[in-house]
Structure 1
């Protein structure tokens, strides 16, 4: 059974609670069927990790400004690139087959951005694990927790889903070939294109809002 921290984090990640939403102990305890003490402890932990912020006496889901988003993607790009480089060195044949299988299965999700987003997270997590470096996996887990603060997915942008799977294919083939440099560059480019797509989405949303 998941603990209160995991339940709240998952709810943020799934968009049940979006940036700016207020989190109330009693409501969370009722929703998840747990007492208020573990909820309170979980909220304190999430605040310490900057996933929640104070608004007066209330805790709300934090949001990322442009600079924070850029900083997050820089760190994510370097760490994920390193994971791909190490995976090219350490991934087993079984792990490579699993990654290839994920890409084929995800083709059925092209028209469902939310489902594809969840599958995308699983794919990236598997690359992290294939690096066989526990400390790197821990740091990437922290980065991906912060990614939960993004209210939308770049995979909802037209054509991005298919493009993402093509990028995933290039990453996996580099890993399978044991080419660490190529895997590193392929994954860094993948993250760069995802960031560019997100910036384009945000720009279009702002333009609609200002009209």
Structure 2
């Protein structure tokens, strides 16, 4: 079998016929003194040139002076001996059935109440029924689809659900703001200020951009809390909110009010005032809940 030696110290790549278990060899000198080259080697693996599931990693001291006599440079070998060609840098990974179906639900392409039939979805995703079945199981666990007497359907919307989602979000967001005020760093403040400014400058005629910049800002607050459990819960809650594509920021006057609240929230976090930060977050998301209910009633 062919083993691939990533000898980055001399900027050469080798293919080495070996007996037994193939090895991926990195130069220890590069690993110890050239972190950037080590990163390049890992990127090489990530692009698919090396299958780490079938190889072990071995370090050597000097790649340049320990070349085995049986080794040949890659460009000296016939093309037929190359086990795998590198992927093109611009190649994109095909979306999985789970990702494709989730995006269709979030965008409204698959509307609430839409029946989800395995065979039809498999043809739509151009895959067999097995990965579609697995994707539906995950989506049901995420709460994006549900079962009724007809089978699986996209989860339907209701004012009761909006209240449930926002009541939970108010608790989590206020807690995240309070913890961020206690744990934030100066770098967190820079990230929040920049996200706040980007949200303020966004084109108000682009609802998608408004929503994306708003999510970006609130994620900087979550990250400042340094509470992974809290962040995970908030991300999962975002999946449910994603089924309501209309953004509350498009509501008349909401964008300006939201910007003031964002600014005040960052001020409270900067001042390490958890009580004020929590109160601002509670007020901010209570207003968002009320607007969301008005939007649902007008649909």
Partner of 2:192: 99
SS of the equivalent of 1:64 reads coil
* C-alpha RMSD of the superposition: 2.2
Native 8 Å contact 2:249 2:255 kept in 1: yes
TM-score by length of 1: 0.85
Q: 1:193 to 1:19 in 2, by over 3 A?
A: same
Native 8 Å contact 1:113 1:161 kept in 2: no
Structure 1 residue 53: deviation in Å?
A: 1.6
Number of residue equivalences? 205
Equivalent of 1:182 in 273, 276, 281: 276
Q: Which has the larger radius of gyration?
A: 2
SS of the equivalent of 2:262 reads helix
Relative to structure 2, which stretch is displaced further, 83-92 or 101-110? Answer: 101-110
Distance 1:158 1:23 in 2: 36
Structure 1 residue 170: deviation in Å?
A: 1.3
Within a 5 Å distance, the mapping from 1:62-211 to structure 2 comes to: 62-106=155-199, 107-203=201-297, 205=298
SS of the equivalent of 2:153 reads strand
Partner of 1:10: 103
Relative to structure 2, which stretch is displaced further, 57-66 or 138-147? Answer: 57-66
Q: Which runs of 5+ in 1 are unaligned?
A: 207-211
Q: 1:59 to 1:169 in 2, by over 3 A?
A: same
TM-score by length of 2: 0.62
